[in-house]
Chain A
């Protein structure tokens, strides 16, 4: 293992984050606060509780999930896309490092940043609502698994993307709708029956549900299924990436 190379990439990527730490942190904090105002205050005054939980608190796991997914995907995607775009990727390709090492560096940094932002949102949320976390270890575990697998997913997008439009396409067109339809702001059980069935095909439902269980010990689907879903997604991303690097697709000509 070329640990120094992994550390070099990781530090480089983290430095990129900290260079723009203000933008990195301020935007999720502001948008989260906005969600609280709109969903928490406006809607919350009518719904009040969902399955016995105060609505403001109920949406916290979903909000964190939304931001962590977005951050993981966009950061990891940009992390590899940018060197490709400006040409500096030559150095990584010519260095004595293997695929898993490149991944550990880039994906590790993107996941770290997404974790940090998730925790910052948790802190921000704590200012608005009274939060109790039933299973803190499970919460952290879910956060980690989510950040890692979606950073991997973002890395794939960054390799695939041929231009900046494509880079933004997936987060905008796929992640956001999946999270909104995935029960971030409501319980699946509130949907009409037909939609409940359809919702079960949305992978984010399992993430949000499992994550919510970590907070409130209640969930739309059994926690076991949530874990299974995220493990499957992780495996899918790892398999795709292995294939990409084995064939040299889009990185090595």
Chain B
């Protein structure tokens, strides 16, 4: 199937000469949830802004649903809903009128039942006649989502949907995203929370310094690059790692366990040797556990690699 969004060799140089995107290539499949990760200033918002028509591209091309975002901007934009990173709402407007305004702006015929459905799904129906300034921060964020959904887009961009929201609201946002995904909407979200990407995304893209460093299925990424940590709990805690173990990279964790990090994809994990050394050192095991390293570790590793690579060059 043809990708719903296709980004080809996209570059962006801002007026002040800063190059925020350095030739990004990216295909997004219909119906998937794609998480874009990257440090502050990586270019995530810039990429989204260009696709959605808020910023002008410098070079390259983007198509949405097969329509070029410059030549067929109407058809391309009709397919897109955007919830920007910055909270921006018309504080004096009523919830329902601001959502209806959005639908009108996208050229759709007013449909009261549809609007009601969207507001109910986002638990905003009770607040429909309130002015936006009377809402809490989380509700305002949901109003922005309602606005983005008002014209029934096929692709939804969520630029840091859960930045600065509490745990409960984050879970609530995730539920909203899951329901949307179920209804077939393609979702592209940016986030700084790795757990969010792990929990929500089918694929993860890592952007740093205006480049797409990697794009991979979340599961494959975890497996292929994942490292595991073997946590060894001792009967009698030690204050120092025995030399033989230290040589193999075992470290003493703050909680007093001995931690051994190994590569799941390697031919030999070295676990047997570590255990043999433990025995030789006369240490008794109380418990063993392993922990899959998170996307965060992978991500930090990638970005550091890029930096050291640059320094070397």
Contact = CB atoms under 8 A, between A and B. Distances in A.
B71 interface: no
A92 B53 CA distance: 10
Contacts of A3: 107
A90 B89 CA distance: 10
Given A94-B80, A96-B78, A252 B105 contact: no
Interface stretch (B28-36, B96-104, B165-173, B187-195): B96-104
A11 B105 CA distance: 11
Contacts, number: 81
A147 B55 CA distance: 31
Contacts of B89: 86, 88
A2 interface: yes
B82 A90 contact: yes
A91 B102 contact: yes
Contact of A96 (B75, B86, B103): B75
A92 B90 CA distance: 13
Interface string B83-97: 010111111100001
A8 interface: yes
Contacts of B91: 86
A2 B102 contact: no
Interface residues of A, number: 28
Interface string B48-63: 0100111110000000
Contacts of A16: 92
B105 A95 contact: yes
A127 interface: no
Given A12-B101, A87-B88, A88-B89, A93 B53 contact: yes
Contact of A8 (B75, B87, B105): B105
Interface string A69-106: 00000000000000100111011111111100000000
Contacts of B76: 96
A5 B82 contact: no
A94 B54 contact: yes
Nearest to B77: A96
B174 interface: no
Contact of A4 (B56, B84, B104): B104
A253 interface: yes
A26 interface: no
Highest count of chain A CB atoms <10 Å: which of B52, B103, B105:
B105
Contacts of B14: 253
Interface in A233-253: 248, 252-253
Given A96-B107, A252-B54, A88 B80 contact: no
B90 A88 contact: yes
A94 B81 CA distance: 8
Nearest to B14: A253
A17 to B, nearest CB: 12
Nearest to A82: B90
B80 A4 contact: no
Contact of A15 (B49, B52, B97, B109): B97
A159 to B, nearest CB: 15
A95 B77 CA distance: 6
Interface of A: 2-5, 7-9, 11-12, 15-16, 19, 83, 86-88, 90-98, 248, 252-253
Interface of B: 14-15, 49, 52-56, 73-78, 80, 82, 84, 86-92, 97, 100-109, 147
The 3 closest A-B pairs by CB, nearest first: A8-B104, A87-B88, A96-B74
